[in-house]
């Protein structure tokens, strides 16, 4: 994922509300969200090149999502896929703290990432840049290609719009509207991440539309306090239009 907006324990009816966009090179093969044949309790899209995923949930309520940390000066083409970390957590039975602590001490040369992991009881975030595991406080949060709640324009605006969108009654269509915002940030508000001004502009909206790279899918996930889960993924065409939809409903098994 390259934009994850989420509400954690900040709504009277929902433990977790997530609105997220996955941005990726358009030629990277991808399977849409579904229950995996080789892991029937795991619901996620799948990276068909490396086998992992960018965001998923299991029938027992384990949730994880990842974003890249944007720094082209510290990128290794031989690094393992960060999506395997999401998959590994979802298929694991350790607590989020135990799992993320273990990841923070691994020697594998992953490129920079932020990994969110939760089990319904707690939600934690590991930023690989400092190796620190932090507990996510209840509230409205945003994560892009920097640290949690870094005030990049689309993170700041997305948090405001998410807060508005989750007012009762919850409207999932409003969440997809937030994810569909193509407004570029003004040059003076753009971060400097080493990709150059033109790319900073292209990457600044919530919904990225470019010939070879852009938003490939938008996902809305809600977990009710009663354990009911709603998961909807909308794949995106190169022009940003919705190409397909897939929705799933289930109740967390305890």
Give the model confidence (pLDDT) of 168-217 as tens digits.
789 899 999 999 999 999 999 999 999 999 999 999 999 999 999 999 99
Q: May I ask the CATH architecture of the domain 3-251? A: 4-Layer Sandwich (3.60)
Q: What's the CA gap between 60 and 15, in Å, rounded? A: 14
Task: Tell me the two tokens of residue 113.
Answer: 């990432």
Mean residue pLDDT across the chain: 96
**Residue-range domain boundaries for the chain:** 3-251
Share of the chain above pLDDT 70, in %: 100
pLDDT value for 125: 98
Instruction: Report yes or no: 247 and 231 within 8 Å, Cβ to Cβ.
Output: yes
Residue with tokens 């799992």: 99
The secondary structure of residue 184, as a DSSP letter, is P
Asked whether residue 1 carries a pLDDT value surpassing 80, the answer given is no
Task: Tell me the two tokens of residue 196.
Answer: 């150059």
The per-residue pLDDT for range 46-58, each reduced to its tens digit, is: 999 999 999 999 9
The per-residue pLDDT for range 35-86, each reduced to its tens digit, is: 999 999 999 999 999 999 999 999 999 999 999 999 998 888 899 999 999 9
pLDDT value for 254: 79
pLDDT value for 167: 86
Share of the chain above pLDDT 90, in %: 92
pLDDT value for 145: 97
Reduce the DSSP state of residue 140 to 3 states and report it. strand
Bridge partners, 18 (sequence order): 6, 221
């Amino acid at each position: 994922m390259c934009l994850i907006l989420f509400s954690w324990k900040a709504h009277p009816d929902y433990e977790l509300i997530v609105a997220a966009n996955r941005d990726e090179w358009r030629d990277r093969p991808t399977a849409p969200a579904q229950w995996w044949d080789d892991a029937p309790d795991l619901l996620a899209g799948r990276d068909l090149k490396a086998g992992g995923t960018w965001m998923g949930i299991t029938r027992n309520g384990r949730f994880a999502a990842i974003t890249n940390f944007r720094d082209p000066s510290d990128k290794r083409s031989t690094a393992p896929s960060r999506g395997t970390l999401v998959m590994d957590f979802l298929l694991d039975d350790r607590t989020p703290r135990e799992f993320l602590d273990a990841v923070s001490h691994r020697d594998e040369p992953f490129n920079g990432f932020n990994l969110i992991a939760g089990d319904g009881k707690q939600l934690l975030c590991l930023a690989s840049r400092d190796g620190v595991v932090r507990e996510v406080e209840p509230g409205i949060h945003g994560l892009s290609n920097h640290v949690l709640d870094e005030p990049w324009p689309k993170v700041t605006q997305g948090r405001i719009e998410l807060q508005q969108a989750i007012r009762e009654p919850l409207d999932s269509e409003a969440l997809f509207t937030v994810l569909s915002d193509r407004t570029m940030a003004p040059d003076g508000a753009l971060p400097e991440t080493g990709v150059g001004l033109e790319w900073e502009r292209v990457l600044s909206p919530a919904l990225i539309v470019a010939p070879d790279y852009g938003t490939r899918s938008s996902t809305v996930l809600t977990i009710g306090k009663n354990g009911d889960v709603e998961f909807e993924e909308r794949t995106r065409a190169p022009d940003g239009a919705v190409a397909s939809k897939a929705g799933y409903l289930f109740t967390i098994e305890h």
